Amino acid sequence: MTDGEGQADGAAEDLRTSAKGWHGVQLAVLGFVGLCGVLKDSGPAGVPRDVQAAAGVLALSALAIACCAVVLVGTAAWPLYRAQARPPTDPRRTSRALRAGIALTFTAVVLLALSAATSWWPVSEGGATRSLVRVSAGGATVCGPLHGGGEGYLTVRVQDRAVAVPLARITAVRPVSSCG
């Protein structure tokens, strides 16, 4: 073995060690992407469907890119060799795979962050549909959006005024699509 081959073997081994460390980070990122995809809700009311669709595409893209990154770094960390007496050492190829895998990992994280950003989509009060409830208490019924409450009261906004209903008198609270 020449001195050049020994240096190449040492460089390739250093790259593999680094790739093994990055592989653990990537698996954590892949798990995080998958967990965020499972826990993702439909988002706040009033978010346009196009934005929700874009968020879904970004999340799925992040998952696919994270999988590709794991494969690239995994092959850099644990290269597959053909049946030969001595495996070939190519530190340039290992370095390219490692750099590409790391770049793809960061890309997946950015795509996931963009996907999650739709949770903060601005919704105007007038444009969003407000959740309406029908509250029955002591034979009377009020309908409108919840306005808050106080100690022992549930407040419902009815037209332009707030109606406080004592909690002890409430017999039913049902969500409704309209108060008409």
The amino acid present at 98, given as its one-letter code, is L
Q: Which domain holds residue 148?
A: 132-176
Residue 174 sits at φ, ψ, to 5 deg, of -130, 135
**Among 165, 45, 137, 174, residue whose Cα is nearest residue 157:** 165
Q: Is 125 inside any structural domain? A: no
**Domain-located, residue 60:** yes
pLDDT of 127 higher than 50: no
Provide the CA 122 distance to its chain's centre, in angstroms.
Answer: 18
Say if 127 falls within a structural domain.
Answer: no
pTM comes to 0.57
Measured N-to-C along each axis, helices 3-39 and 91-116 cross at an angle, to the nearest 10 degrees, of 20
139 and 96 in one domain? no
Confidence of residue 123 (pLDDT cuts 50, 70, 90): low
What confidence score (pLDDT) does residue 128 get? 44
Q: What SS3 class is residue 141?
A: strand
Q: What's the one-letter identity of residue 10?
A: G
Q: Which pair of tokens denotes residue 88?
A: 């070939």
More confident residue, 122 or 173: 173
